[in-house]
Amino acid sequence: MAKSHKNQNGSKKLNQKGKSKAGVSKAPKNGKPGKVMKKEKPSVTKPAGKGSSSKKAEKKSDNTKMSVEDFFAGGFDASGSDDDLDKELEAMEKVEDDAVVDDSDDDDDDEEDMVEDLVMSENLVNDKEDVSDAIDEDEDDDENQDDLEASDDAKQSSEDDDDSSDEENGNDDKDDDDEDIDNSKKLNKDIKRHKKELEQLKKQDPEFFKYLQKEENALLEFDESEKEDDEDEDENEGSDEELGSEDLDGMDVDMDDENLEQESDSEAEMDGDEDDESGLEVLTKSMLNEWIEEVETKQSVNAMKKLLVAFKSAARMSDEEKLERVSLVYRIVNPNVFNQLVVATMRNAPIIFNRVFKCGQGNKSPATATRWQYHQGMVKLYLSNLIHLMSGLTDSDMLYVAVREAEKCSAYWACYDKYAKEYLKILLNMWSNFTSSDNVRIQSFLAIRSLTTAPVPKATKQSTYLDLALKNIYLTFVRNCKNTNAHTLPAINLMRNLAVQLYGIDQELSYQQAFVYIRQLAITLRNAMQTKTKESYTSVYNWQFIHCIDFWANVLAANCQDESSELRPLIYPLAQVALGTIKLVPDAQYYPLRFHVLRSMTTLGVSTKVFIPLAPYMFELFESPALTKQAKPSTLKPLQWDIHLKTPQNYLRGRVFQDGVLEQLNECILNYYKGYFYHIAYPEMVIPGIVAIKRFLKKSKPSKQSKKLHDLASKLDIKSKYILTQRSKIDFSPTDQVDVDKFIKEMQQKLL
Q: What is the pLDDT of residues 529-550, one digit of tens each?
A: 999 899 999 999 999 999 999 9
Is the pTM higher than 0.85? The answer reads: no
CA distance 94 to 88: 10
User: Binning pLDDT at 50, 70 and 90, where does residue 413 land?
Assistant: very high
> Is 70 exceeded by the pLDDT of residue 77?
no
CA distance 230 to 219: 19
CA distance 566 to 560: 8
DSSP 329-374: SEE---HHHHHHHHHHHHHHHHHHHHHHHT-SSSS--GGGSTTHHH
243 phi/psi in degrees, rounded to 5: -80, 150
> Is 50 exceeded by the pLDDT of residue 614?
yes
The pLDDT of residue 601 is 96
> Is 80 exceeded by the pLDDT of residue 468?
yes
Sign, CA dihedral 488-489-495-499, equals positive
Q: 86: which residues sit within 8 A by CB, 6+ positions away?
A: 78, 80
CB 280 within 8 A of CB 329: yes
Q: What is the pLDDT of residues 145-204, one digit of tens each?
A: 444 444 444 444 444 444 444 444 444 444 545 555 565 666 677 677 767 777 777 777
Of 387, 389, 494, nearest in space to 441 by CA: 494
Q: 277: which residues sit within 8 A by CB, 6+ positions away?
A: 331
Quick check: helix, strand or coil at residue 25?
strand
Q: What is the pLDDT of residues 356-389, one digit of tens each?
A: 988 755 578 888 888 888 888 999 999 999 999 9
Question: Please, is 447 exposed, middle or buried when counting C-beta atoms within 10 Å of its C-beta (0-12, 13-18, 19+)?
Answer: buried
Q: What is the pLDDT of residues 556-578, one digit of tens each?
A: 999 999 888 999 999 999 999 99
> Is 90 exceeded by the pLDDT of residue 66?
no
* Angle 177-182-185 from CA coordinates, rounded to 5°: 130
Q: How many residues in the chain?
A: 752
Of 287, 424, 408, nearest in space to 353 by CA: 408
Partners of 36 in the beta sheet? 26
Neighbours of 159 (CB within 10 A): 19
CB 59 within 8 A of CB 165: no
Q: What is the pLDDT of residues 729-747, one digit of tens each?
A: 888 888 888 999 899 888 8
Of 355, 383, 394, nearest in space to 371 by CA: 355
The pLDDT of residue 362 is 59
Partners of 637 in the beta sheet? none
Sign, CA dihedral 553-559-561-564, equals negative
User: Binning pLDDT at 50, 70 and 90, where does residue 319 land?
Assistant: low
CA distance 24 to 39: 6
The kind and range of the H/E element at 119 are helix 111-137
User: Binning pLDDT at 50, 70 and 90, where does residue 24 land?
Assistant: very low
CB 270 within 8 A of CB 24: no
CA distance 268 to 54: 34
The pLDDT of residue 3 is 41
Question: Phi-psi region for residue 358, left (φ > 0), alpha (ψ -120 to 50) or beta?
Answer: left
Mean pLDDT in the chain?
74
CB 182 within 8 A of CB 50: no
C-alpha dist (Å) from residue 43 to 56, 87, 88 = 19, 16, 14
